[in-house]
Amino acid sequence: MPHSFDFDLLVVGDANPDVVLGPLPGPLAFGQREQLVPAGLITLGGSAAIMACGAARLGLRVAFAGRVGDDDTGAYVRGALDARGVDTRALRTDPALPSPLTAVLNRDHDRAILTAPGTLPATSAEDVPGDLLARCRHVHAASYFLMPALAAELPRLFAAARAGGASTSLDTNDDPAGEWDPAGLAALLPVTDILLPNAQEARALSGIDDLDAAAAHLAKQGPLVVVKDGAEGALAHDGRQALRVPSPAVEPRDTVGAGDSFDAGMVAALLAGLPLPEAVALAAACGALSTRALGGTSAQPTWDEARAAAAGAASRYGRPRTHPNHGKSQ
């Protein structure tokens, strides 16, 4: 008899407010200079939290596990997740540590990100209830390098999820230390079904500059690799062949969280049973559409909006194309 799951998705990781300011007219000035920018807001941030909200917006039943502080910031995070339909019963309140906080400074099509980690280093697999893990079809983890205690336990957590019939996905995000933890990832990637780096992260994780070869190298270690490549769309590699998918044409206002919305679309599409080309196209549409407003969650699309945008991109640019891997997997 098929397993009956209470949740489609369990997201494990970081949740914090983002203070988003910009675009900066020039370089950031110190020396107590005050600079004016056109816009700013406080919104829900954290790669895991933005992904969870994007998945809920697409219609998935989503639970979140992580840790915030016993402060106004943590209350804001919990309320923002609740308001977007994410179950927060496994979001733990830490009595001693403050909630994380991130400032995002936009300039042109780039951004600088400053994060005070707060509870993130203390977040661990103990924050993921075993009974919840067994009730979810898919488990996604994000911001691997910001939570070293959780990172060390993710191979065991993912293996337990898969043993219970769930699939798994990982978005490492950036490594502030620039070390990229090859030993830890060597244990984690074989129990990861989908790896979701951006192009810069794929190159850093693999140590290979050519993007096709980098994706092929990572795919050889176990997961389906889906690389977010900005305006160029996305590159997927299953270890045998590569797939290129264009991105819908959108005039971006703010790219914060676009990769996390992409992740939500990719997981939702695969859980819905879409073929890989259609799944990557829908994920690219989710990422592109999320850039229409400031912050990571304000413009996240519904399922119907994402499907329409993906279909429009296919009509303009042609269907996604596959090609055999010719890059060396070093």
Query: For position 110, which CATH number holds?
Result: 3.40.1190.20
Q: Which two tokens stand for residue 309?
A: 């945008």
Work out the number of other CB atoms within 10 angstroms of the CB of residue 53. 31
The residue-averaged pLDDT of 149-164 equals: 97
Looking at residue 222, what is its pLDDT? 96
328 pLDDT above the threshold of 50: no
Q: Considering the domain boundaries, does residue 50 fall inside one?
A: yes
Q: Can you give the C-alpha Rg of the chain in angstroms?
A: 19
Looking at residue 315, what is its pLDDT? 59
- Per-residue pLDDT of 185-231, as tens digits, reads 999 999 999 999 999 999 999 999 999 999 999 999 999 999 999 88
* Highest mean pLDDT: which range of 147-156, 178-187, 285-294, 318-327: 147-156
Average pLDDT, the chain: 92
318 pLDDT above the threshold of 70: no
Phi, psi at 62, each rounded to 5°: -120, 135
Q: Considering the domain boundaries, does residue 276 fall inside one?
A: yes
Looking at residue 326, what is its pLDDT? 41
Q: Considering the domain boundaries, does residue 248 fall inside one?
A: yes
> Minimal CA–CA distance to 226: which of 286, 137, 152, 182?
286
Looking at residue 255, what is its pLDDT? 84
Which domain range does residue 126 map to? 7-324
288 pLDDT above the threshold of 60: yes
Report the distance separating Cα 295 and Cα 263, nearest Å: 16
Q: What is the pTM of this model?
A: 0.93
Q: Considering the domain boundaries, does residue 189 fall inside one?
A: yes
Looking at residue 282, what is its pLDDT? 97
Looking at residue 1, what is its pLDDT? 40
Looking at residue 247, what is its pLDDT? 86
- Per-residue pLDDT of 105-123, as tens digits, reads 988 878 899 999 999 999 9
321 pLDDT above the threshold of 90: no
Q: Considering the domain boundaries, does residue 12 fall inside one?
A: yes
Report the distance separating Cα 278 and Cα 308, nearest Å: 12
- Per-residue pLDDT of 238-257, as tens digits, reads 999 999 999 888 888 888 89
Q: Considering the domain boundaries, does residue 161 fall inside one?
A: yes
Strand ranges (DSSP E) for the chain? Answer: 7-12, 16-22, 39-45, 62-69, 86-94, 101-107, 110-116, 136-142, 167-171, 194-195, 224-228, 234-237, 241-245, 321-324
Question: Quick one: what percent of the chain has pLDDT higher than 70?
Answer: 94
Q: Considering the domain boundaries, does residue 329 fall inside one?
A: no
Work out the number of other CB atoms within 10 angstroms of the CB of residue 40. 13
* Total domains in the fold of the chain: 1
Q: Considering the domain boundaries, does residue 2 fall inside one?
A: no
Looking at residue 329, what is its pLDDT? 37
- Per-residue pLDDT of 10-44, as tens digits, reads 999 999 999 989 889 888 999 999 999 998 999 99
5 pLDDT above the threshold of 60: yes
